[in-house]
Amino acid sequence: MKKKVLILSGGISKERLISLDTGLQVAKELKKNGYKVKVSEPNINLEKNIKNFKPDVIFNALHGQFGEDGYIQSILEKFKIPYTHSGIIASSIAMDKEISKKIFIKNKIRTPKFIVYPYDLSSSDIIKKINQKLKFPVVVKPINEGSSLNVHICNKKNIIKSLRSIKSYKKVIIEEFIGGREIQVAILGNKKLGAIELKPKRKFYDYQAKYNSNAKTQHIIPVDLPKNKLKDVLSMALKAHNVIGCDGVTRSDFKYFKGKFYLLEINTQPGLTKLSLVPEIAAYHGISFKALIEWILNNASKKKY
């Protein structure tokens, strides 16, 4: 008998629409293959939905804050029902760019140099600090946001304006800008699934480039890299997956510049939409969307409480 699957979708983050799309795609596939499926928002009715439906597995299709930062994971743990993707600690670490980058550095995984800006420095002081530690241009991004939301590439002229535009965040990361190629790597459990290269028409692979089909980002697979370089980036992604303590599927975002890979971040709940990269990488390596979703479910089912 096929499992009963509760899909968590939607939520209150800025990635709500992406989450709804992921949830819809997963639900369609599972229903098509005989699973009993219920889709639920992570709201006040969640506990009632879980108790009434009695799922065998919870498929976490949430993205962004409250969905992949350890928050919903801490709620799900109390139900003792297996749920997909990484657990509380790995999710919270991966979502926090400051902590995850410190772990990458400690484990000798190359990542762009950075400083944390907590909005307590004057305009002249932050420019002085950037000149001392990073040099312009730099990348400004929220410390705990996903999907390249509110990410800015800045020079000395627009840095203050960009920082003010995202002042609603308590802290932001300012990191050195690394040029070069966009390489994304998918990990499935302990398996190096594969890589894909992105050539966005926009300035960089931002939110619009990721989720707007009109943005015309070019997806290149297989990636044109020497075998030893491809092996290096796959190994870096698996190492990051393991040192953070991730479970299930992850996608790591790299820049390749002057023969070196730089890990930007690791995503513990990569999208599963029609424009998403992990399904595309899986398909290239002979894993259908159905097989990918079932692998994620079966992997979750192995969790013991």
Do 58 and 6 contact (CB within 8 A), yes or no? Answer: yes
Q: Which of 15, 41, 69, 197 is catalytic?
A: 15
Q: Which of 40, 271, 276, 299 is catalytic?
A: 271
* 29 plus 102 within the same structural domain: no
* 14 plus 136 within the same structural domain: no
Q: Which domain holds residue 201?
A: 94-110+180-301
Q: Which of 146, 253, 262, 276 is catalytic?
A: 253
197 a catalytic residue: no
Average pLDDT taken over every residue of the chain: 88
* 35 plus 162 within the same structural domain: no
267 a catalytic residue: yes
Could you give the number of structural domains in the chain? 3
- Residue 89 in any domain: the answer is no
251 a catalytic residue: yes
69 a catalytic residue: no
Q: Which of 147, 162, 276, 299 is catalytic?
A: 147
Q: What is the pLDDT of residues 32-90, one digit of tens each?
A: 989 999 999 999 999 999 999 999 999 999 998 898 999 999 999 999 999 999 999 99
3-state SS class at 304: coil
Q: What is the pLDDT of residues 212-222, one digit of tens each?
A: 455 578 999 99
Strand ranges, E, within the chain? 4-8, 36-40, 57-60, 114-117, 138-142, 152-154, 172-176, 181-188, 191-199, 218-220, 249-257, 260-267
At which of 152, 176, 200 does a domain end? 176
At which of 158, 176, 194 does a domain end? 176
